[in-house]
Structure formats: structure tokens, C-alpha cells
């Protein structure tokens, strides 16, 4: 699923769809693609909306790697489940659904094994977080009619809650945005309607008594919702807080750059400081400027001697 606009990532998404934001030299959608291929997926369809032509061009490069992939572009936003429902005639056996705007190295093969073992109509990949208050949490039970047990890491989904207060959190497991579905689960999505997995389909399935399984997965997972999540994912993948420079990016002698992401052809001049920030394609930080905890969009400029702190700047 790659149809979102990514407004919370602006200005990084002013000129690219959210799944095409680069991380360690690759668009974030490639991390989900690789996790699916590792699980044995043989065919990929990318559902697109905002700047879908950019995604289509990128998906064409996958065919050079012998990946059977194509895009399906929505004419109007259909929601997460609604966009998948458009492919119902093709989805006639077990299939994965994943969010193309997150960074994932999760073991999706284990998710498929759990799905088959439980016989569920739908299985949700879960990750554990220290503070679930910013997420939608998932409570598991031993069976499809059991009470929630907050200590379980595999089982059947019995309850959902959105962004609970700390004292109300019955679980620290959250939805990682990757699912395995059977066609009968997709059939519950009304044709031609805007429909969401977590807000609409999951509650409807619980009400109908259809089994939803859940499994906590091993591996890295980051929801790239805000710019600082990109830096968090970069640090985790690199194993440290060093900066990463994409092709053509440069840091002049006498400049200081740390814990930052520099996209293609970004430039930092002598005497400038860039800390915990993101510079877009062709962005320039001039002599003696200071950029901290900020985002400079593609082609943006921070003038000599300027201080940019906790800001987002477009070109």
C-alpha cells in the first residue's frame, strides 16, 4: 500500500511520494519489498495514489531484479482496505498486505507460519514498544474466544485500542502494518467504498466472530511518520548515530555534520554545523550556518551565518 500523501513528512514529500523517501541510499518501500520476497512472495502489486508515476517508474526497476511487480493506481483515495479490494479478482488465495511507507526487516515467514497454524482469516504482524500511548495497541488471547492476556506474544486478536493512556494500556503490542489475508476476509470489504483495515475491517471481523491471529515479529520496524523517524531508522540500521551521505552529497573541510541524513547533492559549506537534521536533494547549508533538529527540503537554502533550529524549510 503506497497511496498516501505523507503530509507529516513535508517538505520531504513535496516532490516525492512518502514510500520514495530515501534511507541509506534506497527508497523506504524497498525494505518492505525485500521482507516480502524473503518470505517467499512471488508477485507484488503496489497500490498508488499521490505521485503514483514516481512509484511506477521505480517499480519498473524491480523487474531488472527478476521481480514480478506492477502498480495499480487509484483514481480516488479508497482507504487502506478499499485500495486492496480493487484487486479482489486477482487475490484468490492467501496474500500479504504491507505498508510501503515503513522500514521493516521483520521475519514475515514466521508470520505466514503462524497464519497457517491458526487457520485464521487474517493475521496481523505485531511489534512491541516501550510506550504504546502513541499507537493502536492489540490484545491477544489464547483462543478466538479467550480473554486478553497482556503477556502473550502470539495468539488470537481479541481487542484493539487507539492511543491508550498509560493506565489503560492492556498490551504493549502494536500493529506493524503488515497482514496476511484469506479471500473471505477481503470479501467483507464493500466494493467501491472507502474502507480502512484497522478502523473498519478489523472491528467488523471481530463482531462477526471471524478469527484474527496475531504474532509479535522479530526484526527492525519503524513507522516513518515524522522526519525524526527517518533518523531513528538510519541509526538503527547503521548501528550508530553517524551521518549518512547519499550520492553526490558533500561536507566541506571545517564543517561538522552528525546524526543527519544528506540526500543526493546536498552540500554543507566550511564552518557550518548540521546536527540531527535532514537535508533534501540539492539543499545547501552555507558557511558558518547552524542547522539543528530541522528539515531542509529539496533545493532549500540555509544562508551563511543563519541559525535554523527545530524548523522545516521548503525551497
H/E stretch holding 154 reads strand 154-162
Q: Tell me which fold the domain 7-223 belongs to.
A: Spore Coat Polysaccharide Biosynthesis Protein SpsA; Chain A (3.90.550)
HEC string for 98-150 = ECCCEEECCCHHHHHHHHHHHCCCEEEEEEECCCHHHCEEEEEECCCCCCCCC
Q: Nearest to residue 83, comparing CAs of 201, 172, 166?
A: 201
Q: Is the model's pLDDT at 64 over the cut of 80?
A: no
Q: Is the model's pLDDT at 135 over the cut of 80?
A: yes
Cell of 296: 531542509
The mean-pLDDT minimum among 160-164, 172-176, 311-315 falls in 160-164
Prediction pTM value: 0.89
7-223 and 242-313 agree in CATH topology:
no
The mean-pLDDT minimum among 65-74, 118-127, 189-198, 298-307 falls in 65-74
Domain range summary for the chain, segments of one domain joined by + = 7-223, 242-313
CATH placement of domain 242-313: 2.160.10.10
Residue with cell 497454524: 117
Provide mean pLDDT across the span 178-194.
Answer: 94
Do 183 and 100 contact (CB within 8 A), yes or no?
no
Q: Is the model's pLDDT at 73 over the cut of 90?
A: no
pLDDT classification of 78: cutoffs 50, 70, 90: confident
Amino acid at each position: 500500500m503506497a497511496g498516501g500523501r505523507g503530509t507529516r513528512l513535508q517538505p520531504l514529500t513535496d516532490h516525492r511520494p512518502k514510500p520514495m523517501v530515501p534511507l541509506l541510499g534506497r527508497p523506504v518501500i524497498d525494505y518492505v519489498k525485500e521482507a516480502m520476497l524473503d518470505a517467499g512472495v512471488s508477485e507484488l502489486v503496489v497500490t498508488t495514489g499521490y505521485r503514483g508515476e514516481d512509484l511506477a517508474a521505480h517499480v519498473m526497476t524491480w523487474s531488472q531484479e527478476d521481480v514480478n511487480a506492477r502498480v495499480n493506481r487509484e483514481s480516488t483515495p479508497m482507504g487502506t482496505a478499499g485500495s486492496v479490494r480493487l484487486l479482489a479478482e486477482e487475490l484468490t488465495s492467501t496474500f500479504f498486505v504491507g505498508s510501503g511507507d515503513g522500514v521493516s526487516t521483520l521475519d514475515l515467514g514466521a508470520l505466514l507460519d503462524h497464519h497457517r497454524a491458526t487457520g485464521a482469516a487474517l493475521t496481523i504482524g505485531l511489534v512491541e514498544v516501550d510506550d504504546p500511548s502513541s499507537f493502536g495497541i492489540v490484545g491477544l488471547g489464547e483462543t478466538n474466544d479467550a480473554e486478553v492476556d497482556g503477556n502473550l506474544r502470539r495468539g488470537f486478536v481479541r481487542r484493539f485500542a487507539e492511543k491508550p493512556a498509560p493506565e489503560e494500556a492492556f498490551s504493549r503490542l502494536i500493529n506493524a502494518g503488515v497482514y496476511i489475508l484469506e479471500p473471505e476476509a477481503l470479501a467483507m470489504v464493500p466494493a467501491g467504498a472507502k474502507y480502512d483495515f484497522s478502523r473498519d475491517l478489523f472491528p467488523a471481523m471481530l463482531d462477526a466472530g471471524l478469527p484474527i491471529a496475531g504474532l509479535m515479529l522479530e526484526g527492525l520496524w519503524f513507522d516513518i511518520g515524522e522526519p525524526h523517524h527517518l533518523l531513528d531508522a538510519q541509526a538503527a540500521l547503521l548501528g550508530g548515530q553517524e551521518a549518512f551521505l547519499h550520492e553526490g552529497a558533500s561536507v566541506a573541510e571545517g564543517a561538522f555534520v552528525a546524526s543527519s541524513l544528506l540526500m543526493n547533492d546536498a552540500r554543507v559549506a566550511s564552518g557550518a554545523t548540521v546536527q540531527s537534521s535532514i537535508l533534501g536533494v540539492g539543499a545547501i547549508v552555507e558557511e558558518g550556518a547552524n542547522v539543528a533538529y530541522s528539515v531542509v527540503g529539496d533545493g532549500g537554502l540555509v544562508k551563511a551565518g543563519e541559525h535554523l533550529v527545530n524548523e522545516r524549510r521548503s525551497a
